[in-house]
Structure 1
Amino acid sequence: MHTGLVYTLDFDRDGKTSGHLSIPFSIDRSPYYQVKVPICLIRNGDGPSLLLMAGNHGDEYEGELSLARLVRRLDSKRIKGRVTILPMANVPAVMAAKRCSPLDGGNLNRAFPGDPSGTPTGRLAHFLETELFPRHDVVFDIHSGGTSMEHLPTALVERNSDPDRHARGVELMRTLGMPYGFVADNGEASPTSMGAARRAGAIGVSGEFGGGGTATVDTMAITARALDSLMMALGVIDAPVLGPASKPPAPTRLLSLSRHSQGIYATRRGWFEPAVRLGDSVDAGQLAGWYHDLERLDVAEEALHFAEDGIVLSRRLHTMCEAGDCLMQVAEPVDG
């Protein structure tokens, strides 16, 4: 009763079923407490199998809101195959409006392959990688920059050592209709959901759909389009569910983010002022911004420069920074 994850769901039942994944975790307020992770199962016979998840980080709202809407709108009669929806995967983090779980400090997207006897985040990661992901052909995990980051709307896949499966992942990434897509090189032991999907035999697709710990008209629209486009590309649905039919977007421009030198990091406490915008093309040596020390007003601000060419992919939204904070990243164009 005190380890693992329990559920009473029939994953192979036709129709639409809502329930919970329950993770026992004794706390001060409730000794027999269970973390309740909402899940919706929608199945209509044989066909493609798709897992949609959001709330991997609790303060990334585009996916959470879009999947909550999809739970309400999508009917089993409208699909072919199976769609499993986890709108709030790391539910303690979602309810606390935090990146990581307040129960155990767990960052779900760094917890795979997890531990069935560990804390709630580890137990959930283990269940996802060993039991839920293997039931699906494709896993789509929706992210954004969260409270502290502004991120260029960008699709993402992790590099797969199998060239055919890697090509399929890139193909599906392009179907999302995002302006940019990038390939992350996180290695075979990657602790992310995309690494877990790969090890489970599924194709993993992800992306960054906004940032700032909020949702906007534009970021919600691009998230809805990506979900509809992926489901239609897989043959799960034959018409959009979340948004209107639209003209095909411009081809996704492929980027690569694979080296620490593509980022600029704070080395001490300070206040960062950017000199460039998201999406700008920059050169190595170009000014990225200034680092101020408001505790030493007699010291001039420090100019920070990019180490590599690329396109500005993300920047820190919080002006005040500590040593180790990532201030900005550039990604390298690899096509177009």
Structure 2
Amino acid sequence: MAETVVLGKKLGSGERAYITLPVTTMASGYRLEVPVHVLNGMKPGPKIFLNAVSHGDAYTGMQVIKRVLETADVNELCGTIIAVPCANPIAFEWDSRNTPVDMNNLNRNFPGSPKGWFTDQLADVVCSICSEADMLIDWHGGSYGTAINYILMKKAEGELSDRILELGLAYGLEMYYNGAPAGPAAKYTGTLTDYMIGLGKPSIVAEIGAGTDLPFDQIALSAQGVFNVMRKMGMYPGDPIVPKTQYLIKKRPLLRPKNGGLFVPAVGFDHLNKTVPQGTLLAQILSPLTLEVIEEIVAPCEQTVFLNMRGYATKVHPGDYAYILGDLASAEQFHN
């Protein structure tokens, strides 16, 4: 028997539950609640927390969680899946990275506060789940016209760092990153993964999503990644399915256009996680007035690999994200 208690609710062996955690009353009078799906296995074991849509314009993780909940066999599951498919319902409603009510970034506001801004209150409620779980996978990325596919692993101390690496590699992607953030470290504090790591528990960021069609089934691959991690944790039978070689990248150039205009890509989404040589033309910026090319974006590394990319001709502002790239020469390789 595997009876358990999650967020105050008692679940029997093989039981599913849908729980809502109250946050606040909106100005409209409607109550805001965080949705939580719980799947308890027939056998006891660890608890894994799956979280998505902290940013309202990145919803691939929601689809991955749906796939996992639909395909997990409770008769095989040892432990409990705790899943939040939409951590920020208001941002999702408005297709906005930040929370429209106060324009704060939920994934920079953890652990939040019950007496803070709207987003702080939301963060406080989501954080309450962390104390219930043994491991966290947090999905980000995939707004319209972009594609991203790698695992971000934060550094920790001692055995926890080793455990993060072990579970991260078990996810089964080819590309990983655990180097410095893209800008000043102070701009990247307050993440849910940092909070979980601060509790002494492993956590990874699944930078996985696409606001377009890709030449591979990203949702199926990511759902497989969840089962891989659960296998490594002893929650599910079998061995993780992993590629022959995995790359842990240490250097990650982030390219932003200096000028705004029409972004015209020279490479398509079929290049995601693929490599091009230094100097390869990636995109041009056209003036919407003169129609002249006012800027070119080129590959900066001898082995430039695409981790995140734009693939459509779209408007860009100065300083918008264009590409997150990896310097493959900086990578530590793991052979399986």
Q: TM-score, normalised by structure 2?
A: 0.81
1:165 is aligned to 2:178 = no
Q: How do 1:13-162 residues align onto structure 2 when only pairs under 5 Å count?
A: 13-14=11-12, 15-27=15-27, 29-30=28-29, 33-44=30-41, 46-74=44-72, 76-129=74-127, 131-151=128-148, 153-160=149-156, 162=157
Cα deviation digits, residues 244-286 of structure 1 (max 9, x gap): x99653332222355xxx1221223212223344334345555
Contiguous gaps of at least 5 residues in structure 1:
1-7, 240-244
RMSD, aligned CA: 2.9
Residue 180 of structure 2: which of 182, 185, 196 is its match? 185
Q: Name the SS of the counterpart of 1:147 in structure 2.
A: coil
Contiguous gaps of at least 5 residues in structure 2:
1-5
CA shift in 2, pair 1:125/1:25, >3 Å: same
Contact persistence 1:42–1:75 (CA under 8 A): no
Contact persistence 2:153–2:204 (CA under 8 A): yes
Aligned length: 314
Aligned to 1:293: 287
Contact persistence 2:102–2:117 (CA under 8 A): yes
Residue 335 of structure 1: which of 329, 332, 336 is its match? 332
CA distance in 2, matches of 1:83, 1:284: 43
CA distance in 2, matches of 1:73, 1:287: 42
Contact persistence 2:7–2:132 (CA under 8 A): no
Contact persistence 2:21–2:125 (CA under 8 A): no
Q: Deviation of residue 148 (structure 1)?
A: 4.6
Q: Deviation of residue 178 (structure 1)?
A: 0.9
CA shift in 2, pair 1:256/1:173, >3 Å: same
- Match of 2:98, as an amino acid? C
CA distance in 2, matches of 1:214, 1:135: 36
Q: Deviation of residue 123 (structure 1)?
A: 1.5
- Match of 2:272, as an amino acid? L
- Match of 2:244, as an amino acid? A
Cα deviation digits, residues 18-53 of structure 1 (max 9, x gap): 1101111331x32xx321221023345642121111
CA distance in 1, matches of 2:145, 2:250: 22
CA shift in 2, pair 1:158/1:11, >3 Å: farther
Q: Name the SS of the counterpart of 1:48 in structure 2.
A: strand
CA distance in 2, matches of 1:18, 1:247: 30
- Match of 1:37, as an amino acid? V
CA distance in 2, matches of 1:257, 1:197: 25
Q: Deviation of residue 65 (structure 1)?
A: 1.8
Aligned to 1:265: 256
Aligned to 2:235: 236
- Match of 2:22, as an amino acid? S
Structure 1 stretch displaced more, 136-145 or 168-177: 136-145
CA distance in 2, matches of 1:145, 1:256: 23
Structure 1 stretch displaced more, 47-56 or 211-220: 211-220
CA shift in 2, pair 1:256/1:140, >3 Å: same
CA shift in 2, pair 1:59/1:25, >3 Å: same
Aligned to 1:305: 298
CA distance in 1, matches of 2:89, 2:73: 24
Q: TM-score, normalised by structure 1?
A: 0.81
Contact persistence 1:190–1:196 (CA under 8 A): no
Aligned to 1:198: 197
Q: Name the SS of the counterpart of 2:153 in structure 1.
A: strand
Aligned to 2:3: none
1:320 is aligned to 2:319 = no
Q: Name the SS of the counterpart of 2:322 in structure 1.
A: strand
Q: Name the SS of the counterpart of 1:326 in structure 2.
A: coil
- Match of 1:271, as an amino acid? L
CA distance in 2, matches of 1:92, 1:145: 18
Q: Deviation of residue 293 (structure 1)?
A: 0.8
